[in-house]
Structure 1
């Protein structure tokens, strides 16, 4: 039997009353609305979580502000880095518990929860911990003329912005939360996290582990609720920065709300309609393996996943037939079954959205394989290949965020860049070819924040990640995050 056994600690955690995490302690308001958490693989209730009240929201921000001005501000950069590393240690030590909680709430494969939500989270935190001691300014020499023998010098300082509001999506709630936690804590900020109402439990557990790691109370807080809670958090006068990951329409509203509130700075990592371009010389078997791995992982619910694939007409039948053969061998079922490749869509609204796009594809395009919801309990759909004949078809324009990839043939490489860039989005793209010269010439012309060659979707904390056009503002990772979490202060001296 390949179905894993649920840990006793996970069973016990599901039975607890869940609310907020404020000032180092769990807060369980009894007079607020409760949100039912549903297992997407069975459609059965898992637990409930209480929505935050306005008073709790104010308390969480106040707690973060006290920690920012107080105990966290007194920590040296080295001490902050050590605490972040200790937090990463505890995530790894409690990894199976976190992975199981995440799989139960999101429908993510247990393998993926272990690899990304746990291992990648710890790796990202350790990367950010290394930056804590390396944030620096510059020394400058002004050109003022000396009037009476005086001299001048100048320097810049990088100072933490303050309280950060981190708004987390449901697709990778632990990993993306830790991107924001690591960036905030390494720069000396504190954070109030607002998880998705579909996947709040792992973040509440993370907050407990942060206290166990020795991170001071108030540095990490968690508020639960639906969109209204997020809006109140963005508008709060003591929030200095918003870091949002989610859909393009919601991200645009977040950015507008932040600017209107208090010119609050924000980082927006949004979705896209990411393109993959296979040149005539591409290694089709390699591309098939890459698309199986990156286009359908977590049922396609990955912001950077390829959704539009342009293939030279001479190779498209070979590609789609081999990909369809690979998909036909993939087992669909419980994400807690270690032999399963495809689990459920993460929640009912997203399941309904994907089903809508499948029906749209049947009207406008040609379904090569898949295309249907499964007649069983849970939010399951077949992994799907769609062949489009026009770039104007709905599934070539709108983000499905599901296990659906649209393929379209092209004849001449001169038209390829136009097809890739014909989108309001610009998060990521990939080029598949054995001709490095062609790839290098295409890269500057592709309108995307990340371009991969002979790969897709993979991100690493050393490489900045973010989008162009409607796909966002700002960057995660690399050293680029420092600018978004710090203020640049200039100092001038006369002596």
Structure 2
């Protein structure tokens, strides 16, 4: 039986599937519970989509793309609808922030100041970009006029993760809609509510039927999308393991275009000439942001040996300032982990770190008696072969490794299956550029960390993904290039 909190949110927030601009129950009438990770209480019962629902959504999206007005609209018209959506999100930003915090567990200060504003800015960016899609003229020999056109890829299937639900939704929907694609979006089963709320705003903003379809559910719904022959493009953000499976299966039925933003084990390098206080602050953000549940987290913190002991002292003091508690309290800076599975997984990594000889400086335990809270945890004297230095923990566990020389740390930083991000802290621009140019990662931060902007490409090398999101490259993911060659008379060309 739902508690009072769940009843309140069940009536206030959408829990159905969005197909063809209609809110409907799942074909099986089955539901799943979404849980508040701070209280372990049920928030709502959400309709669970299945393969039949995917087929219905794809049919709606296919018809909207092939026969509807969407891809025939001008970029200005599509941009106007995206602006409408951004405006409505701004109007409802407080509700969106509270919903994101309740469903995900992140502090309300983060939801209000990071997730919601960045999501709105992303939609605004692609609203402007929609009217700037253009091909090019190409001079070729002979009596020909040659030019290229940029056209939408078609129906896009999008699967988003639970760590930044609103933000990841905007990273997917923004460029797809600007390009003129239609979409079937599957939010993570752990955090479906903010996606469904945005779905309500999409309908209110005036998007045509079938353009955006939202299917909350589990992996079976995502798997059905990946193999569906009428989906032209798959975009996924999540674990490397699932990404590899998607890559293997995406050619079933047709040759889908695929972009993947996957896991990371990002090196964050502090040289002995760095501004110590700045490096401490950025290392703190780089690991503890979002309870450590960030794919680009600076989870391998390399510190040069001459400042190593001093750095340990200061980073421990910094971590002690974190405030755990009710995520809806503006004073809270660290909320719970997303669910019991992730909670147990992180505690298992902490146990493994101690067993393998890392030195526990801080934390390492559950915080409180209710909710999935874990103390901010710091390990020192970590070596490259330890499990906590090789595998993605996705939690508030900082691992600090010592190094001597720049050439050494470059080699060690690159010795990973991942290549999503990295950080470098130094006052010497030549050292910064040498390290930046040598690291095989999609993003490198210099004297900062976790800076995200809607116009800067984001993605990874190696097992951290395929393709880039955001910026112009993010838009290109949803566009095809068509070459047109027109025979003309010799007299019409200069």
TM-score (norm 1): 0.94
| CA–CA distance in structure 2, aligned partners of residues 446 and 307 of structure 1 | 16
Aligned to 1:3: none
Deviation, structure 1 residue 457: 1.7
Residue 370 (str. 1) matches residue 368 (str. 2): no
Deviation, structure 1 residue 13: 4.5
Kindly report the root-mean-square deviation, in angstroms, between the aligned alpha carbons of the 2 structures.
Answer: 1.6
Identify which of 416, 419, 429 aligns with 1:423.
416
Aligned to 1:107: 105
Number of equivalences: 482
Aligned to 1:466: 459
Deviation, structure 1 residue 30: 7.1
Identify which of 45, 58, 61 aligns with 2:55.
58
Residue 67 (str. 1) matches residue 64 (str. 2): yes
Aligned to 1:338: 330
Deviation, structure 1 residue 73: 2.1
Identify which of 17, 21, 28 aligns with 1:20.
17
| CA–CA distance in structure 2, aligned partners of residues 9 and 410 of structure 1 | 50
Residue 34 (str. 1) matches residue 31 (str. 2): yes
Residue 140 (str. 1) matches residue 111 (str. 2): no
| CA–CA distance in structure 2, aligned partners of residues 95 and 256 of structure 1 | 39
CA contact (8 A) 2:227 2:251 kept: no
Residue 485 (str. 1) matches residue 481 (str. 2): no
Deviation, structure 1 residue 141: 1.9
| CA–CA distance in structure 1, aligned partners of residues 95 and 237 of structure 2 | 24
| CA–CA distance in structure 2, aligned partners of residues 154 and 336 of structure 1 | 58
Segment drifting more, 305-314 vs 111-120: 111-120
| CA–CA distance in structure 2, aligned partners of residues 388 and 135 of structure 1 | 51
Aligned to 1:194: 186
CA contact (8 A) 1:275 1:307 kept: yes
Aligned to 1:452: 445
TM-score (norm 2): 0.95
1:116-144 Cα shifts (integer Å, max 9, x gaps): 33111110111111111111111112224
| CA–CA distance in structure 1, aligned partners of residues 54 and 37 of structure 2 | 29
1:199-242 Cα shifts (integer Å, max 9, x gaps): 01111111110111111121111112111110001111111101
CA contact (8 A) 2:389 2:399 kept: yes
Residue 46 (str. 1) matches residue 30 (str. 2): no
Aligned to 2:88: 90
| CA–CA distance in structure 2, aligned partners of residues 54 and 260 of structure 1 | 15
CA contact (8 A) 2:33 2:42 kept: yes
Aligned to 1:148: none
Segment drifting more, 386-395 vs 244-253: 386-395
Aligned to 1:229: 221
| CA–CA distance in structure 1, aligned partners of residues 113 and 158 of structure 2 | 23
Q: Cα 1:135–1:439, aligned 2, differ >3 Å: closer, same or farther?
A: same
Give ranges in structure 1 of 5+ residues lacking alignment. 1-7, 145-150
| CA–CA distance in structure 2, aligned partners of residues 17 and 28 of structure 1 | 11
Deviation, structure 1 residue 16: 6.1
Deviation, structure 1 residue 64: 1.2
Q: Cα 1:267–1:387, aligned 2, differ >3 Å: closer, same or farther?
A: same
Aligned to 1:147: none
Q: Secondary structure at the match of 1:177?
A: helix
User: Aligned runs of 1:125-136 on 2, under 5 Å?
Assistant: 125-136=123-134
Q: Cα 1:202–1:86, aligned 2, differ >3 Å: closer, same or farther?
A: same
Q: Secondary structure at the match of 1:132?
A: helix
CA contact (8 A) 2:285 2:450 kept: no
| CA–CA distance in structure 2, aligned partners of residues 280 and 322 of structure 1 | 14
Aligned to 1:175: 167
